[in-house]
Structure 1
C-alpha cells in the first residue's frame, strides 16, 4: 500500500518530468534567425568607405545592424559558425566570437553586431581545431557588448561544442 508521502513524491516527480524534457529541447537556428523579422538582410549593412592606405573596406552599419531578435533571449539554441578566439590557454579556447563565415573579423571588417555571438565555455575548445566549422549549444542572450574585434549582439554560455558535419 502506498502512503500519502510516497504518493505525493511520485505525483510531483511526474509533474516535473514534462518540464525537464521541455527545458532540454534545443532549437536549431541559423544566422538569419538572429535578424529580427521584418529587417531584410540586405538592410543590415549600410554603405562603407574604402581605406586606400590599408586597402580595406570599412562598412558603415546603420541602425538595422544592431537590431536584435529579442524573441531568442533565454532560448536554448544550437547554431553553426566559426571560431575567432579571445581567451586561450594550454587546454584550448575558453572564450571566442562565433562568426558566420571563416575569417570574419580577422582580415576583414567584422560583420554587424546582430551577426556576431560572444561565447564562453567551461570546457575549452581545442586550439588545433580553430578552423573547423562548429555547432555551439547553450542559452542565447541578447545584449550588445563591445569587444576588441567588434560589437556583438548575442552571447552564449556554451553547454556543448562539436564539429559541424557537412
Structure 2
C-alpha cells in the first residue's frame, strides 16, 4: 500500500470530456436488458493512480462472509434491476483476501489502484479495474 493519499474520483470524472452518453431507450424490443455502450472511452490519466471511488456493490465472487470480486456502479440496482450503465461508469474491483460488505443497499468508498485495462463479464463490459485496498461507508 502506498503512502500517497488516494485521489477522490467521482463518476463524472471517469467520462472523457466531450463524450456524451447515449440517451436511447434502455430496453430492446424483446425486453432484454442490454448495455448500450459496452466500449465507452475511459480517462487514461487514472491508469495506475491510487483512487477512492464511491458507489454500490454488485457481487460477482465470494461467499456469505467475504466478497473477493464485485462491480462498483454509480447507482443501486445497476446491472441487476436495470441495464448496465456505459462501460466507463463501471469499475471491476478485486480484493485478494476478500472483504465483508454489511449491506448491499448502502453506498461505499473503495480505495485502491485503478487500471484502465477494462474487463468483460457475463453482466457487462467494464472500462476500469481496481485492485482494492480498503472499503468504508460513504
TM-score category by the smaller chain?
0.7 to 0.9
Query: Which residue does 1:45 correspond to in 2?
Result: 22
Query: Which residue does 1:110 correspond to in 2?
Result: 84
TM-score by length of 1: 0.73
- Worse-superposed segment, 101-110 or 126-135: 126-135
Asked if 1:125 is matched to 2:85, the reply is no
Helix, strand or coil for the counterpart of 1:60?
Answer: coil
Q: 1:49 to 1:128 in 2, by over 3 A?
A: closer
Q: 1:49 to 1:93 in 2, by over 3 A?
A: closer
Which of the pair is proportionally richer in helix? Answer: 1
- Structure 2 CA distance for aligned equivalents of residues 131 and 123 of structure 1: 22
* Alignment equivalent of 1:85, drawn from 59, 66, 72: 59
After TM superposition, the structure 1 = structure 2 runs for residues 4-43 of structure 1, keeping only pairs within 5 Å, are 23-39=3-19, 43=20
Count of aligned pairs:
138
Unaligned runs of 5+ in 1: 1-19
TM-score by length of 2: 0.87
CA RMSD of aligned residues (A): 2.4
Unaligned runs of 5+ in 2: none
Q: Is the 8 A contact 1:58 1:109 kept in 2?
A: yes
What is the Cα deviation at residue 51 of structure 1? 3.8
What is the Cα deviation at residue 46 of structure 1? 5.0
Q: Is the 8 A contact 1:46 1:60 kept in 2?
A: no
Q: Is the 8 A contact 1:68 1:153 kept in 2?
A: yes
- Structure 1 CA distance for aligned equivalents of residues 24 and 12 of structure 2: 20
Query: Which residue does 2:36 correspond to in 1?
Result: 60
